[in-house]
Structure 1
Amino acid sequence: MKVIDFFSGCGGVSEGLRQAGFDITIGLDFDKKAAETYQANFPEAQFYNVDIRKLDEIELAKTFKQKNINNDPLILVACAPCQPFSKQNKAKSEDDIRRTLLDETHRFIKVLDPDYIFVENVPGLQKIDKDKDGPYKRFVEFLSTQGYKFVEFIAQAEEYGVPQRRKRFVLLASKLAEIQIPPKTHGEGLLPIATVRDYISEFPVIKAGDINPEDIWHRSPSLNDLNLERIRHTPEGGDRRDWPDHLINECHKTHSGHMDTYGRMSWNLPAPTLTTKCHSYSNGRFGHPDIKQDRAISMREASRLQTFPKNFIFKGSIAEVSRQIGNAVPCEMAKQFGLSILKHFEEVKNNNGKD
């Protein structure tokens, strides 16, 4: 099965689908450094580092036809930027041009006629503008006119093998037959929930500001003296409630929320949701769980908590790579969805054969 990955970022979905056995055929993203990362890891794919609004659907369809000489089935991935719809984005606006990027996929779907469509975004996307003509409402109405059956659900990443508490909205569509929510793989009665220990305990000890000579992305930003003192007072799984009073910011002394900031992870639990600032100790519970390592998690550790392979190549500065990792769909979750789609396709094929 072939994959066209729109808004691919650094390639979380593509990596997961590749592991499930898909053929990564075309990728597209506007971000230059994310594009460099993608191309380094998927050299077999045709890549478009352009604004989707400037890409001609007929041109792309011709390219895909040349690469799909066996007329294999196609899944189109459209994980448009989530920032315009995120609760974390306090400055979001209806004028944000990213809000309408999902609309751009309509013309490509018409021309390519994919067998499957995969959309992932922040929970709540499906509720935004539900009473008026919003981008998601337009999208699902368009899918219906094109003959797609689809299912919408909230996916908990840890229930699909990801060592991270990450809640996402997912739509899976099929033109072949009714489609179901992919079965959970981890949790009660299933495989044990993956933990931080499972994914990052093997990495060599480093200090804040160090770069491991054997892996340039096993690196963590330096910390100033104040933050070093803060993290030294923070136990595994702890946060600013464990500090002496003189280390607490004045604004936090009367504020009981946002306890994840300046926190350490716990070894035996999933990580918190990794954000685009997961390299920053002050921006979340991104402190290393080992009390002998007074630092934020390294970029390689962050990528592993998103279930990227250990040898995945990243391009850019530490802030750019942190953004790529935080924006990515966890590979393992995408893999499980991919396996479910392949099973669906085989069932449809077998049922048609019986007819």
Structure 2
Amino acid sequence: MQISVIDFFCGCGGTSAGLRKAGMKILAGIDYDGVALKTYQHNFPEASALQRNISDLTCEQLQQEVGEIERPLLFSACAPCQPFSNQNRHKDTSDKRVVLLDEFHRFVEHFQPDFLVLENVPGMQKVDGGPFFRFTDLLDRLDYKYDHGVLDAVDYGVPQSRRRLVLVAARNGEAKLPKKTHGDAEGLIEYATVRDAISHYPELEAGATHHEVPNHQTAQISEVNLERLRHTPEGGDRRDWPEHLLLKCHKKKTGYTDTYGRLSWSLPAKTLTTKCISISNGRFGHPNQNRGLSVREAAALQSFPDDFMFLGTVSQTARQVGNAVPVSFAETLGKQLMISVKEI
């Protein structure tokens, strides 16, 4: 029996792509970002792509848009909750984004899907009485079985370290988080590396676009930053630069060495952000070419397949990639939940 999926806060479609690879049927994606939704629509022509603010969408309108829903049904949700991110040093729980998960309650209560997948930034679960615990209270009231924890996508075959808060739930049967498949311990598969993900792409200069490989496009780099890259070995960073290339702030601080750094071929990438093609925003320098990552390479580090097309400008597509749930990670979560289908 095939599971039907409605993907809330779908973005460009990382979760949907993974769940589709797991064998599920994608019915609809919902997001307020019109540019990301164009990418979604292009890659999921079989699904409805709804550009809506979830706060303004009613359950009846969603039902009308998707029509008859075949069961079992899965709802996935990655509500924007940056105020709880570890990278946000100015946390503001009054930010309107924190209530978006609360808006999701209406749809869960109305449709009572057979399965739920929630993915978000670590930190939400540390706020007593916050949106995460309001959501688990709802699941308790509706008699869902669920499991949650902070997982790292690198432990599931993604060539990138990316720690996320994940919750899986089921109305019937057990919902369990998947066990690690990759790692250094005996019996696990070796971690996927940057080399595994991007070494096959053609060489490219900064600011260039490859006309045969879709989205193999890079950002422009200033001359001084090109010089910095020339002094940065594979896996290196600003600690390898001569004195005259250091920024004033770098001379005062010993930490935060990832900015302007190059990736290592033999290791997984660091966590990609919405600025994942900019060398000044993280360790996003190509291992040996004098440029940042291309959008296509960043997508590969998020485990997107090469036939997944991103629409928009280079900055818009990079943002879509950085915001996405890694495809292989979502696939693993989907396969784990499919074990419960037999219990329905």
Determine the structure 2 residue equivalent to 1:287. 285
Q: Distance in 2 between matches of 1:62 and 1:221?
A: 42
Determine the structure 1 residue equivalent to 2:260. 262
1:83 deviation in Å? 1.1
Determine the structure 2 residue equivalent to 1:299. 295
Q: Is 1:186 the counterpart of 2:191 in the alignment?
A: no
Determine the structure 1 residue equivalent to 2:205. 207
2:85 corresponds to which letter in structure 1?
S
Moved more, 156-165 or 92-101: 92-101
Q: Do the aligned residues in 2 keep the contact of 1:200 with 1:304 (CA within 8 Å)?
A: yes
Q: Distance in 2 between matches of 1:302 and 1:269?
A: 15
Determine the structure 1 residue equivalent to 2:44. 42
Moved more, 207-216 or 296-305: 207-216
The normalised TM-score by structure 2 is 0.96
Determine the structure 2 residue equivalent to 1:56. 58
Q: Is 1:174 the counterpart of 2:170 in the alignment?
A: yes
1:93 deviation in Å? 1.8
Q: Distance in 1 between matches of 2:313 and 2:91?
A: 26
1:15 corresponds to which letter in structure 2?
A
Secondary structure of the residue aligned to 2:206 is: coil
2:294 corresponds to which letter in structure 1?
S
* Residue number among 20, 40, 43 corresponding to 2:22 in the alignment: 20
1:186 deviation in Å? 1.2
Determine the structure 2 residue equivalent to 1:338. 334
Q: Do the aligned residues in 2 keep the contact of 1:154 with 1:167 (CA within 8 Å)?
A: yes
Q: Do the aligned residues in 2 keep the contact of 1:61 with 1:111 (CA within 8 Å)?
A: no
1:65 deviation in Å? 4.5
Question: How many equivalent residue pairs?
Answer: 340
Q: Do the aligned residues in 2 keep the contact of 1:3 with 1:24 (CA within 8 Å)?
A: yes
Q: Do the aligned residues in 2 keep the contact of 1:228 with 1:294 (CA within 8 Å)?
A: yes
Q: Distance in 2 between matches of 1:49 and 1:111?
A: 21
* Residue number among 137, 143, 150 corresponding to 1:141 in the alignment: 137
Q: Percent identity?
A: 50
Q: Deviations over 1:239-266 (max 9, x none)?
A: 0000101101011112011110000000
Matches within 5 A, 1:1-355: 1-66=3-68, 68=69, 71-128=70-127, 130=128, 133-187=129-183, 188=185, 189-290=187-288, 293-346=289-342, 348-349=343-344
1:178 deviation in Å? 2.7
Q: Deviations over 1:19-47 (max 9, x none)?
A: 01000001100011111110010011112
The normalised TM-score by structure 1 is 0.93
Secondary structure of the residue aligned to 1:300 is: helix
Secondary structure of the residue aligned to 1:264 is: coil
Q: Do the aligned residues in 2 keep the contact of 1:267 with 1:289 (CA within 8 Å)?
A: yes
Q: Do the aligned residues in 2 keep the contact of 1:58 with 1:111 (CA within 8 Å)?
A: no
Q: Deviations over 1:145-174 (max 9, x none)?
A: 011111111111111010001111101111
Determine the structure 2 residue equivalent to 1:352. none
Q: Distance in 1 between matches of 2:142 and 2:65?
A: 22
> What stretches of structure 1 of length at least 5 have no aligned partner?
350-355
Secondary structure of the residue aligned to 1:237 is: coil
Pair 1:65–1:176, CA change in 2 (3 A): farther
Q: Distance in 2 between matches of 1:181 and 1:50?
A: 30
2:92 corresponds to which letter in structure 1?
S
> What stretches of structure 2 of length at least 5 have no aligned partner?
none
1:90 deviation in Å? 3.0
